[in-house]
Amino acid sequence: MSIFMDTSVLEDLGLTHGEMKVYITLSELGSSVAGPIIEKTGLQNSVVHRALNSLIAKGLIAFLIEGRGKIYQISNPRNFLDYLEEKKRKFEEIIPELERRKKEAKEKKEAVTFMGKKGLNQMYTQLINSGGKEYNTFGGGKNVTYDVMGEIWWRNFHIKRIAKKIRSRQIFDETLRNYGEELNKLSYTKIRFLPKEFEQLTETIIIGDCVGIAIFTENPYGVVITDKTVVEGYKKQFELIWKLTKQ
């Protein structure tokens, strides 16, 4: 095999390793029956014949029958361009379907439920790992959100959020004033407050293309909704409430 040719180019063009070795060997032999090709490539008989048949189908080699055997030779190397054009044409045919699937995947809509404290831990972790750049929440309160998960858990959670450089705007009620003011000292964090009557059993989280709703009942659980239309609705609701808050 020639040492002056970058044969890996042939693999980049879509040939298998076996096809590449057979093609290059045949180019060096000029024309040949299968035997010398098998000997020179060191490939098994079946591999060589499979490669020969495949290369014929691609128009990259030709053969003529002499006696009872076939004599092979490479076709005009420029036939590779026709081969590549055909591959390009076939790929272009499926582009609309690939684009449709990509759009459907991007606009995927789903709702996933998380049960118990461990489930909520998983839910909040999933939300800050969703790729969103801002973490917005409203609802909850000291007697529900804060006490159910515990102070240490919440502090660790925000350490993880800040490490990811995810900015937050959060709306607490006055029952969480002391905790909220401590959080406000941290980077990437803004906490505002509403009267204590705003305390509730649920916390709504909006981040990226997701909305999370945590329900802090005796057996807490949560739901993450991935739906752009729903997310936009909750974003508007958050912004309206944010305007009513005070620092």
Cα separation, 30 vs 187, in Å, equals: 72
Break the chain into its structural domains and give their ranges: 8-80, 110-244
- State how far the Cα of 72 lies from the Cα of 33, in Å rounded to an integer: 6
Taking the C-alpha atoms of residue 218 and residue 155, their distance in angstroms, rounded to an integer, is: 22
**Topology classification of domain 8-80:** Arc Repressor Mutant, subunit A (1.10.10)
Write out pLDDT tens, residues 15-43.
888 888 999 898 888 888 998 999 998 99
Write the pLDDT tens digit of every residue in 139-185: 988 876 667 888 889 999 999 999 999 999 999 999 999 999 999 99
Paired residues of 32 in beta bridges: 72
Cα angle vertex 156, ends 233, 123, to 5°?
A: 40
User: Each residue of 199-230: pLDDT tens digit?
Assistant: 899 999 999 999 999 999 889 999 999 988 89
> What contacts 24+ positions apart, CB below 8 Å, involve 112-119?
112/223, 112/224, 113/221, 113/222, 113/223, 114/221, 114/222, 114/223, 114/224, 115/219, 115/221, 116/219, 116/220, 116/221, 117/148, 117/149, 117/220, 119/220, 119/221, 119/222
Taking CA atoms, 227 is separated from 128, 154, 241, in Å, by 17, 27, 21
CA pair distance 193, 169, nearest whole angstrom: 11
Please state, rounded to an integer, the average pLDDT across all residues of the chain. Answer: 88
pTM of the full predicted structure? Answer: 0.59
* Whether the predicted pLDDT of 107 surpasses 80: no
Topology of domain 110-244 in CATH is Endonuclease; Chain A (3.30.870)
Report residue 212 as tokens. 């999370």
